[in-house]
Amino acid sequence: MGRRRKGLSVNGWFNLDKPAGMTSAACVNAVRRATGAAKLGHAGTLDPSATGILPIALGEATKTMPYVTDSAKRYTFTVNWGERRDTDDADGAVVKTSEARPDRDAILAALPAFIGRIEQVPPAYSAIKVDGERAYSKARAGEDVTLEARRIEIHAFELIDVIDEGRARFAVQSGKGAYMRALARDLAVALGTCGHLSELRRTAVGPFAEDAAISLEMLQELGHSAAASTHLLPIETALDGIPALALSDREAERLRNGQAVPVLRPQDRERIATAGDDGIVLALEAETPVALVRVDGIQVRPVRVLNL
């Protein structure tokens, strides 16, 4: 028999507003201590100096985490012109300087080149693995880290404000895997100068947005109380946009046992037809999530059974 996890069985999501100065893993541990939950995870790492939305999955919600990490994200940040830093943010050491300072017109003219599918070289100080080791570990040890460019997607890149001659504020909506530090670095280069990012805030991750977030401080104050549970979002929050399929009691039991279920009702086949490229559908018994299932001809097969 496998070892059972210590802690409470809590299933759902907290839409956490991460404070500055904490790693994402430290936030997960803080939520674990506050709630006593046995199983937790976060959907999308934020740099320690960054603030903003860090969705925390508890219990069976951890099985839906990929649907959040793969979703669109929104950020705001400041670019500081004239200094390149080894970490590409304000925490690093200055490695290059420039006297050039772009004006508003130059910035606006440069932004369209960064919208759409673009190639981006991640920062050397990143969690990407190189020869089995995190890139940031190699960089901190003084090794020369060269990472390959990746294809990313930037949906929107807007200038919010020119704060002063040396700083400008931006808003970005991006797909998976985009580094805002690298975006700030590359924009500065395109403008004939160098620069680094500061004041990074993530304002949304998929369906999780800052206007409905809870601070870590408040969550710690609420602890195990009933008030904390009012902030616990249902598992299906992460599955926004995935078609739902209603099941009978017998069909739900078959899926829970890992068996396929034939889908013969015309209305169900129409709903399944709206599934995305991966063919994933959320199977429900009444309003209780049963499993994530994949369409296979005229039947669905369980991909992830949710033990609720």
- Catalytic residue status for 164: no
What topology does CATH give the domain 13-71+207-237?
A: Pseudouridine synthase (3.30.2350)
Q: What share of the chain is helix, strand, coil (3-state, %, to 5)?
A: 30, 35, 35
pLDDT value for 132? 73
Class of domain 241-305: mainly beta
pLDDT value for 143? 75
Tokens of residue 111, six digits: 């932004």
pLDDT value for 226? 67
**Residue 69, H or E segment:** helix 65-69
pLDDT value for 1? 43
Q: What DSSP state is assigned to residue 213? A: -
Q: How far apart are CA 127 and CA 150, in angstroms?
A: 14
According to DSSP, the β-strands at 280-285 and 299-305 are unpaired
pLDDT value for 62? 94
pLDDT value for 268? 63
Q: How far apart are CA 123 and CA 214, in angstroms?
A: 30
Q: Which of 17, 47, 186, 268 is catalytic?
A: 47
Dihedral over Cα of 122, 127, 133, 135: its sign: positive
Q: Provide the residue-wise pLDDT of the chain in tens; the chain has 308 residues.
A: 445 567 788 899 999 999 999 999 999 999 999 988 989 999 988 989 999 999 999 999 999 999 898 899 999 999 999 999 999 999 999 999 999 999 999 999 999 999 999 999 888 877 777 777 777 777 787 777 788 889 999 999 999 999 999 999 999 999 999 999 999 999 999 999 999 999 999 999 999 999 999 999 999 988 777 667 889 999 999 988 788 888 888 989 999 998 888 875 666 665 565 555 567 888 888 888 999 998 777 778 888 999 88
pLDDT value for 270? 59
Q: Do domains 13-71+207-237 and 73-205 have the same CATH topology?
A: yes
CB contact at 8 A, 245 and 25:
no
CB contact at 8 A, 255 and 247:
yes
What topology does CATH give the domain 73-205?
A: Pseudouridine synthase (3.30.2350)
Of 202, 197, 153, nearest to 176 (Cα)?
A: 153
Domain ranges of the chain: 13-71+207-237, 73-205, 241-305
Dihedral over Cα of 11, 15, 17, 21: its sign: positive
Secondary structure, 3-state, 161-207: EEEECCEEEEEEEECCCCCHHHHHHHHHHHCCCCEEEEEEEEEEECC
